């Protein structure tokens, strides 16, 4: 039997030539990288719950507000450093020494939950009779950036500063102490 030698024909335009496959591979790889970067730079901290509760009583002229915030993340490297609420700021301490700031790690889902509980209180009579003194030692720092919302949370993630705005607090029934 005679063998027939066929001439080398170029690949048709719509075939899967090696250069076409490489181009497709590069496009897919680029898409995967862009998607990964977008996901990794997405907001790492999520607001689970944010409540506000007015209170009054105990003594005549005493009133205030309780704030409770619950946040969630999966990142162990995320560190909350400052919280601004209603023109005052808080530097939270999640070391376990302060019961107002709790950090819990779920061993099954590996989610980290931050519970923040703080309040502000006022004494109407003391504030009315207070003599104004210009004291620069109690000057409160302004938020790191302007924000529209009820609270601003500043945190570090992968050595970069990030911010989370809490747009509103869910109002709870006011407490009236006797």
Per the domain annotation, does 102 fall within a domain? yes
* Structural domain range at position 169: 46-176
Per the domain annotation, does 36 fall within a domain? no
Buried b (16+ CB within 10 A) or exposed e, 3-17: eeeeeeeeeeeeeee
Token digits of residue 108: 């099954």
Taking the C-alpha atoms of residue 143 and residue 152, their distance in angstroms, rounded to an integer, is 8
| pLDDT single digits (tens) 125-153 | 776 666 555 555 554 566 767 788 999 99
Taking the C-alpha atoms of residue 101 and residue 95, their distance in angstroms, rounded to an integer, is 8
Q: What is the CATH number of the domain that holds 64?
A: 2.60.40
pTM of structure: 0.68
Per the domain annotation, does 29 fall within a domain? no
**Residue 35: per-residue pLDDT:** 57
Residue 138 in 3-state DSSP? Answer: helix
Count the domains in the chain. 1
Per the domain annotation, does 161 fall within a domain? yes
> Residue 58: how many CB atoms within 10 A of its CB?
14
- The stretches in the chain having pLDDT less than 70 are 1-18, 29-43, 127-142, 144
Per the domain annotation, does 134 fall within a domain? yes
Per the domain annotation, does 33 fall within a domain? no
Taking the C-alpha atoms of residue 10 and residue 24, their distance in angstroms, rounded to an integer, is 20
């Amino acid at each position: 039997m005679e063998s027939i030698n066929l001439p080398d024909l170029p690949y048709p335009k719509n075939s899967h030539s090696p250069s076409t496959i490489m181009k497709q591979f590069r496009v897919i790889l680029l898409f995967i990288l862009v998607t990964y970067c977008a996901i990794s730079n997405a907001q790492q901290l999520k607001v689970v719950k944010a409540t506000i509760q007015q209170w009054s009583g105990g003594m005549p002229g005493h009133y205030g507000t309780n704030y409770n915030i619950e946040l969630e993340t999966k990142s162990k490297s995320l560190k909350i450093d400052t919280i601004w609420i209603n023109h005052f700021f808080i530097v939270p301490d999640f070391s376990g020494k302060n019961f107002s700031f709790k950090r819990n790690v779920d061993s099954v889902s590996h989610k980290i939950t931050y519970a923040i509980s703080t309040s502000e209180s006022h004494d109407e009579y003391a504030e009315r009779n207070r003599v104004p003194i210009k004291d620069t030692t109690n000057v409160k720092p302004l938020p790191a950036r302007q924000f529209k919302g009820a609270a601003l949370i500043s945190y570090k993630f992968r050595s970069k500063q990030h911010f989370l705005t809490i747009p509103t607090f869910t109002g709870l029934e006011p407490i009236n102490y006797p």
